[in-house]
Structure 1
């Protein structure tokens, strides 16, 4: 059985964001080429949907396609077409949401999060949206735990992404979560995009450059990736760039959107996923090669990041 994804296109939809689910999920296939997702596009009514570009799109399905979907994706439309000034859904969009079953996974790309929040689906939950819209979002929906710094938020059955290309990151993350790293990497290669991007939105927000020709932390990251099996300290990383710990930490967060410690943990988790999927190494050996030190430490970090134990991950995603 393929996983059924329905993309809801609304008037004012941004064509790039609208195309992301079909492109990424359509590229997710088994090693022998079998498609893993069935992607359909619907509107609030079948027919022509206006975009924010100089062309319209014609969608074959109306809102009835939302019923029975495994995943529903809400791509970006301008916020003013998503919700009213007081943060309420237009009646037609509210009726469409009522067709979505409780078990269905919800995904938003960019300002599609406004629609999820206006429908009450994000109350008390973490979420993100495009950095330029975070101020208005926080004003309209103070009950949502907005994180303006990340590329996407995975809260289990509801996932939200930041703007534009962050929708690609989120869809690849979903493929990785559903079918494993190998499938996600193949999809990324087919689409000529990186399977994972480090950091958050902070690296893309306009801000003054500290000084011309300022050194970056790229050398330290490259050095660390070649030594993930070793204990690495903040002093070690800073010394690679000949910076003080304070300067290095500040510049690292500016460039990557996360702290050096958070970045190291993510790299070790990613390395562990690859080894658990594609090698016969014992779980203890995987933990050692990834620099976790102990199996218990790796188990703790995988549960925090993926919600599953190393052995459980291997059983699910072993190639």
Structure 2
């Protein structure tokens, strides 16, 4: 009987990334215990008082907690909806372009913002949307519209978040849908033409059904991110003036934990969000498996 053959050099190559993951991903999980304590840094985890679920009760007793949760959900849902419709529409339009040079130029143009950080884009957007010197308000002034404080008005702030996020992110999804479009059998279009279908009919009956598995997959996987309303974006664009419409769970954790030094309260909020996210991710993967037979292994 042959002995099992172990590739020890390959296993040793895995050690550095495994150690890094253990230190930076699994190690901090032990610190979640402070969500159940009245944590005092000078006393440490072992010396801090155990309070059970008091921190969670305190969080949900705050008057702004439910508003923050609703802000997170509403912003996330709007982003998910825009992230589904816009890339599909752009991919379908680009698929009809026959000039390859123009097509690739447009792809590069819409994909470029995806690589920029929100720190950089935030500064650009603050200048562009400024009510005094912003380009957008200058253009609105040409048609007689009064200046709008987009980043300081609760009525506009959520829509600014959704539109700017989609402008940055939709290029990546568009590339995914364009790749899916190349997998559609051309004979299906030929058969549709023979049956008298115009371009709109071909899109509805051939193109969209052809990319439906990718649409369903991306949509279901996005459900796991519904509580991530975009911390980087919101942090760089919001201000106390728009806390009512723009404050989300992640920014609440940031202010409580890092600015106000309420470490136990911030840990409780973060743990609550992580638990709900885990549930949503599990449901998303189950739906992806049931609907399009997607598996992660």
Higher strand fraction (1 or 2): 1
What range describes the TM-score normalised by the shorter chain of this pair?
under 0.3
Larger relative contact order (Cα-Cα within 8 Å, sequence gap ≥ 6): 2
Q: So what's the TM-score if we normalise by structure 1? A: 0.23
Q: Pick the structure with greater CA Rg.
A: 2
Q: So what's the TM-score if we normalise by structure 2? A: 0.24
Higher helix fraction (1 or 2): 2
